[in-house]
Amino acid sequence: MFSVLSYGRLVARAVLGGLSQTDPRAGGGGGGGGDYGLVTAGCGFGKDFRKGLLKKGACYGDDACFVARHRSADVLGSSTACIVVLDRTSHRLHTANLGDSGFLVVRGGEVVHRSDEQQHYFNTPFQLSIAPPEAEGVVLSDSPDAADSTSFDVQLGDIILTATDGLFDNMPDYMILQELKKLKNSNYESIQQTARSIAEQAHELAYDPNYMSPFAQFACDNGLNVRGGKPDDITVLLSIVAEYTD
């Protein structure tokens, strides 16, 4: 197995300025008979409510409730999780996703494979959590066994975008695909620039009070009169499948 990309809310909250990684043995070009690797770069922004005030009633779900009710607990927290593993020999992408983070596999400008969002109800994703003793059995705590697992055959040049819900709540697919069109090769600098461009655009839209974001549309579909982006942690990992060389 090769190139495990995993993260959750807790990781994203720890990202202050940026996040990047790459495998120097993966390069571009060539045929499709050998081993595959990933050239990966990333960018992220922590959650910062100081940039804008949330509208009254704009914070929903057990995650927000959990934090508000148990601020004094010594150890607490919840996290979605998304794991993406490329088997470089079989060229198969193995994934496990729990919650509302997720991934896209893009080929020829189209999404050919993606994760499914897991929600208990509106804005309350499946999540791994550590509750204070007095709250055990009260707050949501899902088992890793509840993760949605898939396997998918990838090809050279496939783009794999892995991200927290801070991206998907603020940018619909068509916006993401428009940004990915700017990615012309598997050069690390190009991937890094595109990952940063996507994360920065999502971060800007998150604080736009007049933008009808995917999150706001989902809220309206659930009977809530909400408009604007959703301030949240944003982590974007962008990978291109390339030939693996020793």
According to the model, what pLDDT value does residue 100 have? Answer: 96
Dihedral (C-alpha) 131, 169, 203, 57: value to the nearest 10 degrees?
A: -70
**Residue 122's Cα: distance from chain center in Å?**
18
Residues 86 and 91: their CA atoms lie apart, in Å, by: 7
Dist CA 145 CA 96 (whole Å): 10
How confident is the model over 9-28, as a mean pLDDT? 46
Mean pLDDT in residue range 2-26: 44
The percentage of the chain sitting over the pLDDT mark of 70, rounded to a whole number, equals 76
Which parts of 85-129 fold into alpha helices (H)? none
Give the per-residue pLDDT at 55.
47
What local confidence, expressed as pLDDT, does residue 12 receive?
Answer: 41
Ordered by where they begin, the domains of the chain are: 2-244 (3.60.40)
pLDDT > 90 fraction of the chain, expressed in percent and rounded: 65
Give 98-140 pLDDT, tens digit per residue.
999 999 999 999 999 999 999 999 999 999 988 777 777 778 8
- Which amino acid is located at 4 in the chain? V
The encoded tokens of residue 159 equal 């783009």
Q: At what angle do helices 188-206 and 173-180 cross, to 10 degrees?
A: 150
